[in-house]
Structure 1
């Protein structure tokens, strides 16, 4: 401890420095806070918004003298905006009379635009965290740049929030008149007077009036309304199918759902969700060449004679139209109405039945028509079918480029996506359907259900490709369409990658990790034939050889797994089951060489007439056991997998040479040394 006389000068110096730091870190008491106006002037990325504020008399007056909350789109947002930018537009971005930080925002914010229309606030849960993303109508709030608080020249508090899209109010066709904040019913009544581009909604309005359902569109609170445009009422007699229940199926009560903040695939109850009929809707998006197209799908879970079950999909042609009691989305055809064949559904997005140029399956349609259209003729003539239709994104796979140049191969691939019976998702799940025959000769489709809690996702495999059903149960008068995320029949993964991703082959993949066995399976310069036991095969082995199975799946003894799997693997040749069958028919003594040894098997095919017991299909016979090949010819980029129902396993395959792995050879050497020593 220093004495005061000796350290007094140093103490005073430190005190002065400390006070100086405090003064630097904090503004002087009574110093004016920066205003929102100053903040806008200093931020170059908000210059377009500030310019519009200055140009509008009311907006400029509010900025300088009133309490207010401002929602400022970035310059980039204005550059993306394709609509007209007039000086009135800025008023839809101002809430006068309130200064609210994000946590104080209610579900609606009244704006300064003509008629005081509201802005709708959505709080979207961010993943599994407690954080939430905020949206104003369809615009996302940039939270790190928001919540700026300041006062203007009149000492009125103001708050500035930054958003990533321009907010678009309902505007009049004529610049001389304004739209006085109508509800959805008023929107229908005044539709010819508002900016809707080339779209008209007279037909739907007429059906609403004839069925006396105006009250549905006048309902207070926040709702979501889907209104089909006139082009979607072709061909007749579709208009007559728009009855009271169908109209109810176009309204989601109590939820204001703009496109961006609405989770894809989440189902919402409509007004047509009652005791007698149950209809839900969900949103989805599909990428096209420039951006993403938005779609809405109605799912009639419980129907009646006039309203069949299934999904009807419609493109949202004009989204996010704000009204007094929610939001309106214009769609290209009515929901719930099942009045087209599968062929017409494919055509309805391609300018044949409607005026749409693109759709969720336009790439599939182009492939069909580019290769002669025989496939289209085939499905047109079928009275009952299921089409597993690859989405537009599925066709972007580079592996398809060469295949698409071969007409016969494309025809076979298309037929692999077709089943000659109606298979809605519920039927596949309830009847536990594992496989079905496709329209391609000797090509089956295999189903698997992945469960996450209460959610069930269907996957379908064909020709070695495992695809996920991303939109099930699109209903047609003669069948069902399931949209999938990959093109079947065109392999895109190696043998190793297929083993790692197939949910039915988890146990074999786990064993294949020992001794780095699976690394070779990704070699693109090799060709493999791999007889892969499915998970159920190992469960069967556990019953027959409990001790062997137990050791095999223990880490300490897993070195045996490599030699057992080598018995299942043929290297440098990729045999289909038909080729193996033909090989044995030509030469009964022919035996393929696996990595481990000579595989003494026989191949037999049993058709439906012969299969009195068991299943039809390919079998291999090994050591007196007949083993079903439950999934033959799973094609990969470097070989073929045959999924089998039993492992090629003997009870003597796993043995213990010592208490610890690796001690067997060591003990043998020690024994020899001991014997030599004793002999000496």
Structure 2
């Protein structure tokens, strides 16, 4: 017990929320001094006084204790008050100076998560400072659309924040101001237990032409939030999306935060087949394969795709080119003064022949060890694996494992296999010539592609 909580019990009028012993067995948070202070609130509140409201903890900087009545029960944050063992009232001393105190027993430990000085954090401050929950991508979108005030307001709301792993390139691009607003239920503080399941809640995405609703679900002991786009447009598809709540019930000054697995209101990208388009046209028209196309144009590599042949092309996603920055000397790639260096790298990804090779064909051919494929940059050994757990193919090349994001994309003159990163090695960045005048044009083009 902290000194503050001990002195409060000795001298103040307080309400104490005491978790049962079994609650601590399940608790995985920090058992620090803030924890005891978060279970003690100013003033004495009997059960009859606990309506939908909030209480102020005795220690500054901790978030409010949110009280909610639901189905005849009373909850503090996500913990149920056990009425038979609660509502015990007594004075801390038996004289005229005695102050009333009330004890309530609850079935969960109240977790303040963190503390920030003398002022409890708002939802925006939490997103800006936390290092434990992986929410920086959604934070960048909030800042991009200048919606900080929605998460930093004095009002109370329920916030759903997608984790970084669920925000791939496509979902990042599709997350606009309407999608961000769809992650906020206004004027309600909804923890996962004291909330009706399948009930509909309005969001801030409520305008004449975009209307998105949310509802809570519980399936197999897991909690989910479901979005339903009632009114949409060309970029906001009508329909439902379900996202698992992976970190529940984070209290903040202006409500509660739930970290969710994927963004709401954004459907998975469907790669539409263009069987009558040649590969080069497909690359030119797909914004998510743009880097490979522009590099091919600058280096002259794309001329190979104009031959009357059949092609098997392993095309890295745009994000895959960016990942080279973390794995290799990315700056050297940008300093390449001769286009034939880039052309050589792109050539490893292209097989030219009389027939294209599906991933299934390559997998069967390399089942024993590897299959030697004649790429436009020379023979290379590929091992094709299959991950049953993820239902996807994996390429092993030069002792590097690369996921196949999309296999067997049909075009009129071959197949595209979209891969998670390019086929590059450290040696590609050795003995690179010094910068030349022609290099500046290449660098500017690459910089625009890889930072957009």
For residues 358-412 of structure 1, what are the alpha-carbon distances to aligned partners after superposition, in whole Å with 9 as ceiling and x for unaligned?
xxxxxxxxxxx69x99xxxxxx999xxxxxxxxxxxxxxxxxxxxxxxxxxxxxx
SS in 2 for 1:239: helix
Shift of 1:320: 0.4
d(CA) in 1 for partners of 2:198 and 2:171? 27
1:138 aligned residue = 78
CA contact (8 A) 2:62 2:114 kept: no
How far apart in 2 are the matches of 1:155 and 1:179?
29
Once the two structures are superposed, residues 277-308 of structure 1 have per-residue CA deviations (whole angstroms, 9 ceiling, x without a partner) of: 21111111222xxxx22111111011111101
Across the two proteins, how many residue pairs are aligned to each other?
Answer: 278
| Alignment partners' CA distance in 1, 2:230 and 2:138 | 24
Q: 2:244 matched to 1:315?
A: yes
Q: 1:155 maps to what in 2? A: 98
Q: How does 1:313-392 map to 2 (within 5 A)?
A: 313-341=242-270
TM superposition shift of 1:253:
0.2
Match of 1:264 among 189, 194, 197: 197
Cα deviation, residue 222, structure 1: 1.9
Alignment partners' CA distance in 1, 2:99 and 2:145: 51
Secondary structure of 1:266's partner?
Answer: coil
Where does residue 56 of structure 2 map in the other structure?
Answer: 110
Matched, 1:202 2:148: no
Q: Does 1:85 align with 2:31?
A: yes
Which of 186, 190, 201 is 1:253 aligned to?
186
Q: What's 1:225 paired with?
A: 159
Asked if 1:168 corresponds to 2:168, the answer is: no
Distance 1:238 1:226 in 2: 15
Gaps of 5+ in 2: 272-387, 393-406, 410-452
Q: What's the counterpart of residue 306 of structure 1?
A: 235
Name the CA distance, whole Å, in 1 between partners of 2:196 and 2:408: 38
User: How far did residue 116 of structure 1 move?
Assistant: 4.5
Does residue 126 of structure 2 align to residue 187 of structure 1? yes
Q: CA–CA distance in 2 between the matches of 1:168 and 1:279?
A: 31
The Cα of 1:228 is off from its aligned counterpart by: 0.8
Which aligned segments of 4 or more residues in structure 1 are displaced greater than 3 angstroms? Answer: 177-180
Counterpart of 1:56 in structure 2 is 2
SS at structure 2 position matched to 1:269:
strand
Aligned to 1:278: 211
Which of the two has higher C-alpha Rg? Answer: 1
Distance in 1 (alpha carbons) for counterparts of 2:20 and 2:102: 16
**Correspondence for 1:75:** 21
Alpha-carbon shift at residue 180 of structure 1 (Å): 3.4
> Could you tell me whether the CA contact under 8 Å between 1:171 and 1:179 is conserved in 2?
no
Determine the structure 2 residue equivalent to 1:213: 147
1:99 aligns with 2:79: no
Kindly tell me: are residues 341 and 264 of structure 1, through their superposed partners in 2, closer, same or farther at Cα, counting changes over 3 Å?
farther
Give 1:56 deviation, angstroms: 1.4
Conserved 8 A contact 2:29-2:113 = no
Q: Secondary structure at the residue paired with 2:143?
A: helix
Q: Distance in 2 between matches of 1:66 and 1:334?
A: 45
TM-score, normalised to structure 2, is 0.58
Give CA-to-partner distance per residue, 1:307-328, whole Å, 9 cap, x none. 0101111111111000111000
Tell me if structure 1 keeps the 8 A contact 2:67–2:75. Answer: yes
SS in 1 for 2:225: strand
Are the counterparts in 1 of residues 65 and 77 from structure 2 also a CA contact under 8 Å?
yes
CA distance in 2, matches of 1:332, 1:189: 19
1:403-455 alpha-carbon deviations (Å, 9 max, x no partner): xxxxxxxxxxxxxxxxxxxxxxxxxxxxxxxxxxxxxxxxxxxxxxxxxxxxx
Q: Taking structure 1 as reference, are residues 64 and 179 closer, same or farther at Cα in structure 2, changes over 3 Å only?
A: closer
The verdict on how the C-alpha distance between 1:270 and 1:164 changes in structure 2, with shifts beyond 3 A counting, is same
**Kept after mapping to 2: 8 A contact 1:249/1:336:** yes
Partner Cα separation in structure 2 for residue 310 and residue 56 of structure 1: 51
SS for the counterpart of 1:188 is helix
State the Cα distance separating 1:178 from its structure 2 match.
4.9
Unaligned runs of 5+ in 1: 1-54, 127-131, 343-368, 374-379, 383-680
- 8 Å Cα contact 1:171-1:178 kept in structure 2: no
The one-character-per-residue Cα deviations of 1:615-645 (angstroms, maximum 9, x if unpaired) are: xxxxxxxxxxxxxxxxxxxxxxxxxxxxxxx
Residue 295, structure 1, aligned to residue 224, structure 2: yes
Q: Which residue is equivalent to 1:608? A: none
What residue in structure 2 maps to residue 398 of structure 1? none
Distance 1:116 1:85, change over 3 A: closer
Distance 1:143 1:311 in 2: 38
In structure 2, how many angstroms separate the alpha carbons of the residues matched to 1:58 and 1:339? 50
Contact 1:77 1:165 in 2 (8 A): yes
SS at match of 2:228: strand
Deviation at 1:65, TM superposition (A): 1.5
Q: Distance in 2 between matches of 1:296 and 1:179?
A: 33
> Who is 2:368 aligned against?
none
1:85 Cα deviation (Å)? 1.0
State the TM-score, normalized to the length of structure 1.
0.39
CA RMSD of aligned residues (A): 2.6
Query: Whose RCO is larger (CA < 8 A, sep 6+)?
Result: 2
3-state SS of paired residue (1:237) = helix
